[in-house]
């Protein structure tokens, strides 16, 4: 019968902010996370920040090369339109460290499938299919160019350059 060392439990996975908030503390010990997630934690769950800071989380920044790879693939799949800079950091860490990504975010799961990153969900079943996305104008229905970088805020989604209407993501046909 083998027993696991709690100090090494999470070293094989990168956790998104949802996992930092809702996963049991003993499962988080040794997990890898981005320092940029700390600001999200402060906004979303300030009480949880103190608990997280008391355990061994490996706060790491991904390399610029890994970030560029994730952005490039995200542009190709259309997922970049639904990812934040923090999401990109988390994805880049999982890619670079060859770790399992822990997330309920369908966009991140979709991109993980495209790039070959193993993933597990937190509280959901996760995606059942891998999709490519495109931005479409809700007014004139024209397909828009995919952004070159992730948006800082999903509310910053651009307007149609032809008619000024909102654009939305849809499954690429």
The tens digit of pLDDT for each residue in 22-54 reads: 999 999 999 999 999 999 999 999 989 989 989
Q: What is the pLDDT of residue 8?
A: 40
Give how far the C-alpha of residue 30 lies from the chain's centroid of Cα atoms, to the nearest Å.
Answer: 19
Q: Is 50 exceeded by the pLDDT of residue 4?
A: no
Q: List pLDDT tens digits, range 101-134.
A: 999 999 999 999 999 999 999 988 888 888 888 8
What is the band of 149 on the pLDDT scale with cuts at 50, 70, 90? low
For residues 169 and 128, what is the distance between their CA atoms, to the nearest angstrom?
18
pTM: 0.80
Name the residue with tokens 């032809």: 162
Q: For the chain, how long is the longest CA-to-CA vector? A: 66
Name the residue with tokens 């990153």: 117
Q: What is the pLDDT of residue 3?
A: 31
Closest C-alpha among 123, 93, 126, 109 to residue 27: 123
From residue 140, give the alpha-carbon distance in Å to each of 21, 29, 157, 165, 168: 40, 50, 16, 8, 12
Residue 171 CB: number of other CB atoms within 10 A? 10
The CATH architecture to which 10-121 belongs is: 3-Layer(aba) Sandwich (3.40)
Query: Phi-psi category of 78—alpha, beta or left, where left has phi over 0 and alpha has psi -120 to 50?
Result: left
Domain spans of the chain, in order of start: 10-121, 133-171
Contact 33, 13 (CB under 8 A): no
- The better pLDDT of the pair 59, 8 is held by 59
Mean pLDDT of the chain: 86
Enter the DSSP assignment of 15: E
Name the residue with tokens 């651009």: 158
């Amino acid at each position: 019968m083998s027993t696991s060392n709690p100090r090494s439990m999470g070293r094989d996975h990168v956790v998104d902010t949802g996992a930092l908030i809702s996963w049991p503390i003993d499962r988080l010990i040794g997990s890898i996370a981005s320092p940029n997630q700390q600001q999200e934690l402060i906004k979303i769950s300030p009480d949880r920040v103190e608990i997280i800071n008391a355990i061994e989380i490996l706060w790491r920044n991904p390399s610029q090369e890994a970030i560029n790879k994730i952005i490039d693939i995200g542009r190709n799949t259309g997922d970049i339109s639904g990812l934040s800079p923090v999401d990109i950091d988390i994805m880049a860490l999982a890619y670079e460290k060859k770790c399992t990504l822990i997330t309920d975010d369908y966009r991140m799961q979709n991109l993980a499938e495209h790039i070959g990153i193993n993933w597990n969900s937190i509280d959901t079943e996760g995606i059942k299919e891998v999709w490519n996305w495109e931005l479409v104008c809700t007014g004139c229905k024209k397909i828009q160019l995919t952004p070159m970088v992730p948006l800082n805020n999903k509310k910053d989604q651009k307007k149609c350059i032809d008619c000024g209407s909102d654009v939305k993501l849809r499954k690429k046909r």
